[in-house]
Amino acid sequence: MTAFPEKSAASPWFPFKIAPSFADRVWGTSDLRPWFDIAVKEKLIGEAWLTGDQCTVASGAFSGQRLDALFAAHGEALVGPAALKQLSSGSTGANSPSPLLIKVIFAREKLSVQVHPDDEMAHKYGEPRGKTECWYVLESTPGAQVACGLKPGVTLDDLKAGIADGTLENSLKMLELARGELIYVDAGTVHAIWPGAILLETQQNCDLTYRMYDYGRGRELHIEKSLEAVKFSTHAGIVNPVKRPGGIILVDGAYFRIERIETAAGLSNASLRNPAAEPEPGLAYLFAAAGSARITAPGFDAIEFSKGGLVAVPARSPEFVIEDRGSLELIRITPHWPGAA
């Protein structure tokens, strides 16, 4: 039984739900069910943004407030003092203390072949940060693939020729997907998502994308910058999970750690944290990849979230308990800052 401090009842920093926003994409779908109760005929939705700056708080003391405004006003309470100090140093481009952009990707057609800049290149062009990302496979049909990196021996001239004559796919390294896998895509990796899977994407809070090839859709290409951003050797690929007490580490990268949490026993916020990797509390996001959960604490209006739902846990959160309400698959996402102590 978890002992709760009496003062927790007055805190505004209990976990809170976030309402997603939905982005139209030419490669998207008109039906997001059962992940989200959305089925429309007049447009195609490709992305559900779960932590975008424009998303709004959907429960608790700050209900209705945009995330960018909340992070700007209360960064220390949300991310913790050490993380805020690192952000404020300017080394990571601190225009927004909100560190991660988390999305669910619904691809009905192939996305563009693209690449993202690293922090150094982003800074060169006046942007706050680059974009390293990863994909957790929520659903996958047999044979579903993504392009992740370049085949050995591919040169810059090969890329230029492939862009010009439409054969760029021949240079791409393809990966077959299976549910529950995680694919790491560090900045500079040439990549593309193909149909057949639904992916939970975690990335630096940046939406810089340089399109190299777009299958004749007529959208803007960014060939010069994409070629500048390309790295011919990266760490991209399927990550081998690592067991830890209470869960499985799916990836532990430069900008984020993602874990699948065991929910057989009762969970508290203290038991969620891995003290070896997180010596002090920081921001965390909890995502239901399946099933449903309920968060409770004295003096706190319990919140429930289910498949597709996301909850933010501030660094200053009082203690709480998570109940598995049935078939819960809980993903925990925490940010990193390069250079942080």
Determine the structural domain holding residue 108 and report its residue range. 21-54+100-238
CA distances from 201 to 3, 57, 131, 136 (A): 35, 20, 12, 6
Strand partners, 114: 191, 211
Task: Return the pLDDT at 92.
Answer: 45
State how far the Cα of 254 lies from the Cα of 184, in Å rounded to an integer: 11
- pTM for this structure? 0.94
Instruction: Determine, yes or no, domain membership for 78.
Output: no
Domain count for the chain: 2
187, 217, 238 - which closes a domain = 238
Task: Return the pLDDT at 283.
Answer: 96
Task: Return the pLDDT at 171.
Answer: 98
Are 216 and 247 found together in one domain?
no
Task: Return the pLDDT at 336.
Answer: 85
DSSP-derived secondary structure letter, 156: H
* 218-266 confidence digits (pLDDT tens): 999 999 999 999 999 999 999 999 999 889 999 999 999 999 999 876 7
User: Residue 280's pLDDT band (boundaries 50, 70, 90)?
Assistant: confident
Averaged over 154-166, what is the pLDDT? 98
- The amino acid at residue 215 is Y
Query: In this model, does residue 89 exceed pLDDT 70?
Result: no
* 92-140 confidence digits (pLDDT tens): 444 566 899 999 999 999 999 999 999 999 999 999 899 999 999 999 9
CA-atom Rg of the chain in angstroms: 20
State how far the Cα of 97 lies from the Cα of 76, in Å rounded to an integer: 9
- Specify the DSSP element, H or E, that contains 300: none
Task: Return the pLDDT at 2.
Answer: 37
Are 192 and 313 found together in one domain?
no
* 138-150 confidence digits (pLDDT tens): 999 999 999 999 9
Are 267 and 317 found together in one domain?
yes
Are 221 and 267 found together in one domain?
no
DSSP-derived secondary structure letter, 6: G
What's the CA dihedral at 169, 170, 176, 177 to 10 degrees?
-20
State how far the Cα of 115 lies from the Cα of 230, in Å rounded to an integer: 7
Query: In this model, does residue 198 exceed pLDDT 80?
Result: yes
